[in-house]
């Protein structure tokens, strides 16, 4: 049965239920009218407060519990509502109904930094989250992406390691303390699969000018399935209509001090001024030929991208963000994205990073949002009928009637049927699984330097100068000499010239490495986007 809490969400998913600030009388949470909320009940004018003052206790107790834990990562964020309109060009590759021509779907998008706490500055050098919730008629689809197309680690089991290394040191919790620089650079210099992501972070992509000028990436390879059951492997891209623009480092630092809310303010002010944020969604389409590789690139390796000249980005729809949240807590803070929120026609792959994410999001939200019923919060409630067999639990809003649901069942005539693929049911495409249980990466995951070299060589001279300055600045904060030297060796393996310039900036000798030679100078940064048209 549908639940009252779920039904209470309005058609845009906005938190519109006003539990207070309506009516002409102030009341307690129980509806009792109050004569006074400014003075506690005391034993005499100068006496102690009385335990019997239920209003004092309710008011203070509720206040004491106003905060929920911030997200363990991506704590700092800002969000907006909008709409996604499909061009219909993806119909040949996916049966997802919201991608049919002309379909309009409500969306809620949260942008974030990764490492900073809720109150940290917006313009720090970091990866940005780009999480999109599509409230489709077939269920909610979340595309939980970043503004960088690759990730630090190839296997989700290392996520706690990279985050522990990157977060402020536990003693003083000062993000810019030398200790935090040491742990981050210690980890990434020992763990060279991080090199590609680090190159993007040290480039101008690490300090975007505005959320409206960032690209977004689904990072992983997804499997799309069309109405005939045919599959393709795809990478999702968000292309900002306003173009890709970054701050320069001096601007980013000044903004962090003068206006720590620089991006948040820009997002809200732009929408208030009637200038929506616009992005086009595109896909790179690779054949699902059983190899899970494309042009020798392992599509299950999230540290690799597919250059756009090899697979152009084909545009499939447009996102417009034009409405600010009305309540930061109810919407931006309580929204819960999850890579496992999928719709028919969009499936996951065996990428070991993605596989771990499929576990992590729901798990962390059980703590962050206080139990298993947070899908009933207005911002998380699907915009389609919900008819689950889940019952009870903390903060349950529903009042189901009848016997507890179970299947098979000969007593409950009202129990809904399950749906096959033909009825809009989510049926995973059968994919072969074989081999021995191992804790190993495929051999193809072992190349950590070809794409970082490709990325560096695809940058303009100005962008290369910026990346040299960024490495020099950041490594200059590292205390341990051996870490600086080790990271220089990593850079030597990417590009001898890059390494030499950073070494000179640090006043250290340039180590020798085996720099990647003869990689095609590819369009990691150049845009190869084809105008919307049917996807072959
Ligand atoms: C949160 C992206 C890898 C665990 C987020 C958010 C984004 C994101 C955008 C913020 C969601 C929001 O705005 O509420 C990514 C991307 C990844 C990645 C693109 C790699 C390609 C991982 C991995 C794990 C993980 C490997 C764990 C195994 C989490 C957790 C949160 C989070 C626990 C907090 C969620 C919450 O409290 O609601 N991630 N992430 N992420 N991510 Fe990831």
**DSSP for 50-71, written as a single string:** PTT-HHHHHHHHHHHT---PPP
Q: What is the DSSP code string of 395-453?
A: T------SSPP-SS-SS-TTPPPP--GGGT---PPP----S---S---GGGG--SHHHH
The pLDDT of residue 189 is 97
Please indicate whether residue 205, judged by its CB atom, sits closer than 6 Å to ligand 1.
no
- Are 278 and 80 in contact by the 8 Å Cβ rule? The answer is no
The pLDDT of residue 20 is 57
The pLDDT of residue 519 is 66
- Are 319 and 69 in contact by the 8 Å Cβ rule? The answer is no
Closest ligand 1 atom to Cα of 77? 13
Supply the DSSP symbol for 116.
S
71 is in an annotated binding site: yes
The greatest distance separating any two alpha carbons of the chain, rounded to the nearest whole angstrom, comes to: 87
The pLDDT of residue 520 is 60
pTM of the model: 0.94
The pLDDT of residue 1 is 32
CA R_g for the chain: 26
The pLDDT of residue 9 is 40
Tell how far the Cα of 141 is from the centroid of ligand 1, in angstroms. Answer: 15
What whole-number distance in Å separates Cα of residue 327 and Cα of residue 8?
16
Active-site residue, 39 included: no
CB neighbours of 19 closer than 8 A, spacing ≥ 6?
A: none
323 is in an annotated binding site: no
Query: ipTM of the assembly?
Result: 0.94
Query: Which listed residue (81, 146, 341, 373) is catalytic?
Result: 146
What whole-number distance in Å separates Cα of residue 136 and Cα of residue 187?
40
What's the CA angle centered on 485, arms 484 and 489, to 5 degrees? 115
CB neighbours of 178 closer than 8 A, spacing ≥ 6?
A: 477, 478, 479
Residue 56: Cβ within 10 Å count: 17
Please indicate whether residue 354, judged by its CB atom, sits closer than 6 Å to ligand 1.
no
Query: Which listed residue (62, 65, 74, 395) is catalytic?
Result: 74
Nearest CA to ligand 1 atom 3: 357
Tell how far the Cα of 361 is from the centroid of ligand 1, in angstroms. Answer: 7
- Are 216 and 130 in contact by the 8 Å Cβ rule? The answer is yes
What whole-number distance in Å separates Cα of residue 393 and Cα of residue 246?
46
The pLDDT of residue 12 is 42
Please indicate whether residue 369, judged by its CB atom, sits closer than 6 Å to ligand 1.
no
Tell how far the Cα of 124 is from the centroid of ligand 1, in angstroms. Answer: 18
Please indicate whether residue 79, judged by its CB atom, sits closer than 6 Å to ligand 1.
no
Closest ligand 1 atom to Cα of 220? 21
The pLDDT of residue 23 is 84
87 is in an annotated binding site: no
Helix axes 159-166, 178-190, angle to 10 degrees: 150
Beta pairing, strands 529-530 & 313-323: parallel
Please indicate whether residue 163, judged by its CB atom, sits closer than 6 Å to ligand 1.
no
Question: pLDDT digit of tens for each residue in the chain (536 aa)?
Answer: 333 333 334 434 444 455 556 788 999 999 999 999 999 999 999 999 999 999 999 999 999 999 999 999 999 999 999 999 999 999 999 999 999 999 999 999 999 999 999 999 999 999 999 999 999 999 999 999 999 999 999 999 999 999 999 998 888 888 766 667 899 999 999 999 999 999 999 999 999 999 999 999 999 999 999 999 999 999 999 999 999 999 999 999 999 999 999 999 999 999 999 999 999 999 999 999 999 999 999 999 999 999 999 999 999 999 999 999 999 999 999 999 999 999 999 999 999 999 999 999 999 999 999 999 999 999 999 999 999 999 999 999 999 999 999 999 999 988 888 998 888 999 999 988 989 999 999 999 999 999 999 999 999 999 999 999 999 999 999 999 999 999 999 999 999 999 999 999 999 999 987 777 766 655 455 577 887 888 87
368 is in an annotated binding site: yes
CB neighbours of 477 closer than 8 A, spacing ≥ 6?
A: 176, 178, 181
Please indicate whether residue 109, judged by its CB atom, sits closer than 6 Å to ligand 1.
no
- Are 347 and 222 in contact by the 8 Å Cβ rule? The answer is yes
What whole-number distance in Å separates Cα of residue 499 and Cα of residue 451?
16
Q: Torsion-angle region of residue 290: left (phi > 0), alpha (psi -120 to 50) or beta?
A: left
Beta strands in 137-218 (DSSP E): 139-146, 216-217
> End-to-end alpha-carbon separation of the chain, Å?
41
Active-site residue, 74 included: yes
Closest ligand 1 atom to Cα of 363? 33
β-pair partners for 134:
107, 141
The pLDDT of residue 4 is 31
Helix locations, 44-194, DSSP H = 54-64, 159-166, 178-190
């Amino acid at each position: 049965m549908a639940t009252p809490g779920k039904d209470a969400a309005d058609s845009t998913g906005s938190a519109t239920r006003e539990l207070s600030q309506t009516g002409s009388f102030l009341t307690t949470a129980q509806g009792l009218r109050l004569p006074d909320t400014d003075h506690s009940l005391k034993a005499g004018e100068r006496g102690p407060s009385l335990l019997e003052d239920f209003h004092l206790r309710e008011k203070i107790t509720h206040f004491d519990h106003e905060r929920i834990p911030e997200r363990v990562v991506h704590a700092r964020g800002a969000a907006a509502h909008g709409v996604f309109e499909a061009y219909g060009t993806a119909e040949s590759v996916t049966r997802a109904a919201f991608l049919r021509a002309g379909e309009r779907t409500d969306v809620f998008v949260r942008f974030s930094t990764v490492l900073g706490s809720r109150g940290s500055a917006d313009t720090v050098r970091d990866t940005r989250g780009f999480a999109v919730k599509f409230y489709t008629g077939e269920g909610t689809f979340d595309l939980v992406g970043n503004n960088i197309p690759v990730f630090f680690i190839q296997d989700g089991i290392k996520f706690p390691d990279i985050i522990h290394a990157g977060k402020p040191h536990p003693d003083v919790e000062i993000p810019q303390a030398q200790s935090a620089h040491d742990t981050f650079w210690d980890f990434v210099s020992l763990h060279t699969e991080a090199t590609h992501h680090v190159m993007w972070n040290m480039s101008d992509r690490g300090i975007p000018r505005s959320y409206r000028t960032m690209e977004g990436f689904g990072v992983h390879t997804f499997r799309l399935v069309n109405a005939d059951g045919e599959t393709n492997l795809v990478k999702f891209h968000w292309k900002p209509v306003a173009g890709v623009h970054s701050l320069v480092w001096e601007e980013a630092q000044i903004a962090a001090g003068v206006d720590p809310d620089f991006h948040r303010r820009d997002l809200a002010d732009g929408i208030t001024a009637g200038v929506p944020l616009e992005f086009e969604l595109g896909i790179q389409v690779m054949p699902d030929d059983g190899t899970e590789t494309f042009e020798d690139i392992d599509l299950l390796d999230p540290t690799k991208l597919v250059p756009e000249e090899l697979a152009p980005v084909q545009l499939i729809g447009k996102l417009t963000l034009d409405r600010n949240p009305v309540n930061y807590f109810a919407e931006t803070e309580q929204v819960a994205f999850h890579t496992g929120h999928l719709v028919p026609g969009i499936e996951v792959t065996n990428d070991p990073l993605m596989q771990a994410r499929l576990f992590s999001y729901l798990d962390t939200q059980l703590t962050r949002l206080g139990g298993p019923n947070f899908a009933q919060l207005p911002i998380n409630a699907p915009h389609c009928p919900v008819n689950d067999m889940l019952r009870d639990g903390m903060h349950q809003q529903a009042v189901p009637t009848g016997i507890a649901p179970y299947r098979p069942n000969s007593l409950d005539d009202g129990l809904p049927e399950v749906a096959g693929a033909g009825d809009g049911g989510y049926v995973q495409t059968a994919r072969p699984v074989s081999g021995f249980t191992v804790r190993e990466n495929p051999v193809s995951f072992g190349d950590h330097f070809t794409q970082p070299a490709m990325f560096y060589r695809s940058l303009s001279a100005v962008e290369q100068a910026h990346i040299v300055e960024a490495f020099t600045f950041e490594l200059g904060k590292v205390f341990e000499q051996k870490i600086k030297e080790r990271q220089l060796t990593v850079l030597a393996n990417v590009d001898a010239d890059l390494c030499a310039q950073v070494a000179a900036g640090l006043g250290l000798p340039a180590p020798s490495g085996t720099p990647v030679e003869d990689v095609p100078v590819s369009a990691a940064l150049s845009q190869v986007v084809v105008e919307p048209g049917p996807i072959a």
